[in-house]
Structure 1
Amino acid sequence: MESEANNMADLVVIDVGGTSIKYGVMHHDQLENEGSVATPPTLAEYYTAMTAIVDQARTKYQPMGVAISTPGAVNKKTGVIEGASAIPYIHNFPIVPELTRRFNLPISLENDANCAALAELSSGAGADVENMLFIVIGTGIGGSVIVNNRVIHGRHLFGGEFGYMLVDDKNTLSDVASPVHMARRYTARKADGKKYDGKTVFALADQGDALAKEETGIFFSSLARAIFNLSYAFDPDKVVLGGGVSQADWLIPTLTTYMQAVKEKVGIAPWLPELALAHYRSQANLMGAVVDFRQQYPATASPQ
């Protein structure tokens, strides 16, 4: 169990994104002093921006560490952000020692999807469970695997990369179960000179548009089958759905209907997974970074 002192320690919290860096200070378990800056174009400017955020926090608080959410595959053993992202200069070198030296504080670094999952696990839709699948439905399909309250990173740091699953002879789950890709297919097939987004295609399907109904059917059936299969592979306590489409109140009822059809085809399958919509939105990565820091430094105490 985390100590009460650990929970009360001030932490600088940073969420690095492709276009902006959000930040705040966790003070007495409340996120304060929030703000954002544009993501810099170079590594040197990145260091300057990150250090300025920490220095600003020091003028008002007594931070005991820095909790960071970042794109990329974070290797906690080496302090390297592996893989690739929209911020190429942060990858494939030991960035954790560099940031630690500049801040002169202990830091934690975790992948943004894993941070969002930890936020849900700690005080969101998964607060009542220990084992959870977190599925982010966005431009692609990603997420996190949580077992015994811990992120399962996997040997190659690809734990939760559900979008790589092949669903037919040529398409991955990201190809067919992303609203963005669904809208692109609809736009190409409609070919009326207009560009459609996912929200519009869902609305058109609801209005009876045959092509939209076909494309949304592909989306729902592919996602439902993937959730069903993952649930029987991991047997989680709960499956939490995030991403923009998770704000729709029709998502869970519709997916449940499609999963019931899968269950009937399987026959031997005795249950359906419990689904929940993500609680956190814009603060998810910040809140989850705090959870990650406290897991990494359970003995950190606030100053007396």
Structure 2
Amino acid sequence: MNLMAIDIGGTTIKLAYWKNGQLTNEHAVDTPKDLESFYQVLTKEVNQAKTAINAKGVAISSPGAVDQKTGIIGGTSALPYIHNFKIQAELEKRFSLPVTLENDANCAALGELAAGSGQGCNSIAFFVIGTGIGGAMIMNQRIWHGAHLYGGEFGYMMIDNDQLSSLASPVASAKRYNERTVKNFTGKELFEAADQGDAIAEEERDKMLHSLAVAIFNIQHSFDPEKIVLGGGISNNPELLPLLNSVLAKIVKKVPAAIMPDLALCQLKSEANLRGAVANFEQQH
């Protein structure tokens, strides 16, 4: 089935056609500032897809806590105007097509399951490592939303009396480093400084890696997925997997009968949300 795929972001909205099992005509538009402009932009894009590929549905990746039973986007995001009303029904009325909605992290996980590092798996845990820590859990090739739509919200995990998002985010780690050194490093620069022997950078990087490794170990031994896939900007760093595996190996040695998690980096990068939105549509229809 040919589809219009949409990935709603706070700054840009990415769009693509799904035709013959491939994403084509990928492009982006600036995210509108208000709801009516949002409707106008998306309706124009969907109408073009109807003409160009005879699109039969619209697959959407969205920020926020998407409730697929009600078609309401709960929670908060950079786009307050999309929240807390039956937006799915409104979009279906405007597009005259079936619409599916799913959270963006969940879509990224579904994308990796369908065409990335999770191919062939029935279960994966997916980490989004960025400004905070987000994620998704997939069981039997389906998103596990949880009773309160908190499935995969790994950033809320408490480690050493602090939240994982505060401990394992490269942004938070760089902020701690900058407060200690009066510098203005990014997370990437923090890793580079640690490689060059900066003792404070090493300490902050090691704290980040240890916290993330503990969270991964705990998820492996509670959820027990076949793979744990790591996404976010830091997944482009070739050091990440070797460093994490080294820390994990030390933790595993301390626990009798523990297993070593199978880590992988995300493959789809910027296409993951669009591909996952399509996978979600195909699961529902």
Both proteins in one fold, TM over 0.5 = yes
Cross-structure match for 1:278:
266
Equivalent residue for 1:68? 60
Q: TM-score, normalised by structure 2?
A: 0.98
The DSSP-based 3-state class of the residue aligned with 1:283 is: helix
Q: 2:218 aligns with which of 229, 235, 241?
A: 229
Counterpart contact for 2:71–2:89, Cα < 8 Å: yes
Deviations 1:245-270 (A, max 9, x none): 1112221111111111111222x133
Structure 2 match to 1:77: 69
Match of 1:188 among 157, 176, 179: 179
Partner of 2:43 in structure 1?
Answer: 51
CA distance in 1 between partners of 2:28 and 2:197 (Å)? 42
2:148 and 2:258 mapped to 1: Cα distance?
Answer: 33
Give the TM-score of the pair, scaled to structure 1.
0.92
Indicate the residue corresponding to 1:92 in structure 2. Answer: 84
Unaligned runs of 5+ in 1: 1-8, 298-304
Q: Residue 16 of structure 2 aligns with which residue?
A: 24
Q: 1:154-173 alignment to 2 at 5 Å?
A: 154-169=146-161, 171-173=162-164
Distance 2:36 2:258 in 1: 55
Deviations 1:115-168 (A, max 9, x none): 000010011100021011001111111110000000000111011000001112
CA contact (8 A) 2:50 2:56 kept: no
Looking at structure 1, the residues matched to 22 and 258 of structure 2 have their Cα atoms a distance apart, in angstroms, of 42
Task: Tell me by how many angstroms 1:197 deviates.
Answer: 0.2
Matched, 1:199 2:192: no
For 2:252 and 2:276, locate their aligned partners in 1 and report how far apart those are by CA, in whole Å. Answer: 33
Match of 1:262 in 2: 251
> Root-mean-square deviation (CA), in Å?
0.8
Q: Percent identity?
A: 52
Q: CA deviation at 1:59?
A: 2.4
Note the C-alpha offset of 1:26. 0.5
Q: Could you tell me which runs of 5 or more consecutive residues in structure 2 were left unpaired when the two chains were aligned.
A: none
Moved over 6 A (4+): none
Is it true that 1:139 corresponds to 2:131 in the alignment? yes
